[in-house]
Amino acid sequence: MKYIIIFINALAIAIYHFLFGDPVSIAAQIPDNIQSGTSFTVSVTVNKPQVTGFAKLQLEIPPGYVATEIESKGGSFTASGTVVKVIWTSVPSDDQLTLLINIAVPASAVAGKQLKGKFSYITNNAKQEATFDPLPINISGSSGDAAASTQASADSINNSTTATIQPTTQSDASTQTITEPVATNNQGTTDNQQSFSKPNEPDATVSVSRKITGSGTPDNFQVDVIIKKENIKGFAKLSEKIPVGYKAEQTNIAGASFSFENGEAKFIWTSIPSSEEITISYNLSPDASGSIQKPAYIDGSKFSYIETDQTKKILLEKQEITDGESGAAVATNTPLANTNTQPDNTTANTSTTVTQPDNTAIATTTAVAPKNGNIHYSVQIGAFQKSVNANYLKRKYSIIEAVRTEMHDGYTKCILGRYNEYKAARDSRETTKNKGVGDAFVTAYNSGKRITVQEALMVSNQKWYK
C-alpha cells in the first residue's frame, strides 16, 4: 500500500510539472566566512523552465561593497551603489542559469550585513518575482555593530573617502558633541585628489534623426534611423509608432532585438554597440488589412537609454509619409522653430529638409538630449552612524551656509550649500577646509539623487577644477 501511495504522489507531481511547468526559483551561495578587505564570489542559480523574453536579476549588497561581473549569461550587467542588476531583453532558453559575481569587501566591513536578491520575469503579460532568503555575510574578525572608522562609498569617484566624524563622550550644553573631523584610510581619494586626471571636456550630447526614402513602389519606404550616441553604453531602446495599414520589417538592426507588434516597431539592445554612431533600418509596406489612411505619419517615437543610472528619453518629431507624383518618395515633417537657447531641463528638437540630387526630399528630425539635466553640487562635511545636530557643526566651524542632513548608505551625512556650478562648490569646499574640516569634499546630485562628481560634470557639461 505504501508503494502505491508513493507511486500516485510521484505521478501527480509529474502530471503537474507537465501541465504547468516547474516553478521558477532562485538560490544564491556565498562563502561561510569572509575576510574584510578581500573579495568573494556570489553564485546565483536561477531555475526558470518555460520563462522567455524580458527578465532581470537584482541583488542588494551592503553599502561600501563593490560588485563586478564574472558571468552574466548574456545579460547586461550594471552595479550602482548597493544595487546590482543583470537584465535580459530575451533571457537564454536554458531551464537553469548560473551567474557569477565578484564582490569586493571594504576593509572597514562589519558583521550583521546581508545579501538579498530576486529574479523578475514576465508571464502572461504579468510581472512575477522569485526571491531567495537573505544570506548573512559573516565577516571574520568583525566587531559586530561597532562603529566603523572608515566608510567606502560612491560619494565621489572610485569609492572616494568621506569626511567621517565620530561621536565622543564630550558634552555640549545644547547638542550632541563630536570630535574634530578625521581623515579616513579608505581606498580612493576625495574629489580634490581624484584618481583620474582632469577629465576631457564633457559632452553628453545624444541625437537621433530619421530619414525616409522610397523604393519606387507605391506605399513602400525605407526608414533609416541614425543614432549619434557618443559614450552611451548598456541598455537602450528605440520604438517607432507605425501608422495604421503599414507593417515594419527589419533590414539592419545593428545587433538589436527587433519586434513589430500592435503598430510599434521596437529595437532593444541589452548592450548597445560601442561605436559613437549607429544606423538601424527597416522597410515599411502595406499590411494585409489594406487600410492605409492618408496622410500617414510616424508619430510617438522615442529613443531611451541609461545614463548615470537614470533612464533618459528623446522624443522624435512626427513625420509624414507621402508618395510623390512620379512615384519618388517624399518624406516630410512638421518643422519646429530653431532656437539657440533651450531650457536646462528640456529636449531640443530641430528639423531640416534636404533636397537630394534626384529631387527627392528627405526630412530629418533630430532630437537632442538635454546636457544640463537637473544637476546641483553641495559640500559634505561629515558622516555619522547616529543622528547628529547639524547646527552644532555650523557653530563649531563658523559656517555661514545652512547645514542640512540626509540619509545615504546607512549614514547621516551633513551637507552644506546647493550650487549649480561645480566651481562654486569647489570654492565652498576650500573655504570649509580652511575652517578646520580638512576632509570636506564636493558631492553631486541629479534630480535629488546622488551621483559621482565626474558623472555630474559630464551631464552638466562643466569643467573640473582642482
Residue ranges of the domains in the chain? Answer: 2-140, 148-201+372-466, 207-368
Exposure string for 281-309, b = 16+ CB within 10 A, e = fewer: ebebeebeeeeeeeebbbeebebebbbbb
Say which CATH topology domain 207-368 has. Immunoglobulin-like (2.60.40)
Mean pLDDT for the chain?
73
Q: Are strands 361-368 and 348-355 parallel, antiparallel or unpaired?
A: antiparallel
- In the structure grid, which three cell numbers stand for residue 341, read together? 537657447
Q: What percent of the chain has pLDDT over 70?
A: 69
Closest to 302 (Cα-Cα) out of 351, 369, 354, 382: 369
443 and 451 in contact (C-beta within 8 Å)? no
* In the predicted structure, residue 78 carries a pLDDT above the cut 80: yes
CATH of domain 148-201+372-466: 3.30.70.1070
Highest-confidence segment of 303-307, 347-351, 360-364: 303-307
Closest to 190 (Cα-Cα) out of 429, 460, 435: 429
Helical segments of 399-451, H only: 422-434
Per-residue pLDDT tens digits for 102-128:
999 988 888 889 999 999 988 776 778
Quote the distance between the C-alpha of residue 305 and its chain's center: 8
384 and 148 in contact (C-beta within 8 Å)? no
- How high is the pLDDT of residue 298? 92
Helical segments of 284-421, H only: 390-396
253 and 180 in contact (C-beta within 8 Å)? no
Q: In angstroms, how far is the first alpha carbon of the chain from the final one?
A: 83
148-201+372-466 has the same fold as 2-140: no
413 and 181 in contact (C-beta within 8 Å)? no
Alpha-carbon distance of 94 to 114, in angstroms, equals 29
| Segment 390-411 mean pLDDT | 85
- How high is the pLDDT of residue 438? 87
375: number of Cβ within 10 Å = 26
48 and 24 in contact (C-beta within 8 Å)? yes
β-partners of residue 139 are 34
Per-residue pLDDT tens digits for 201-236:
333 478 888 899 888 888 899 999 999 887 777 778
Say which CATH topology domain 2-140 has. Immunoglobulin-like (2.60.40)
pLDDT-based confidence at residue 171 (cuts at 50, 70, 90): very low
- How high is the pLDDT of residue 107? 85
| Segment 47-63 mean pLDDT | 90
- How high is the pLDDT of residue 5? 61
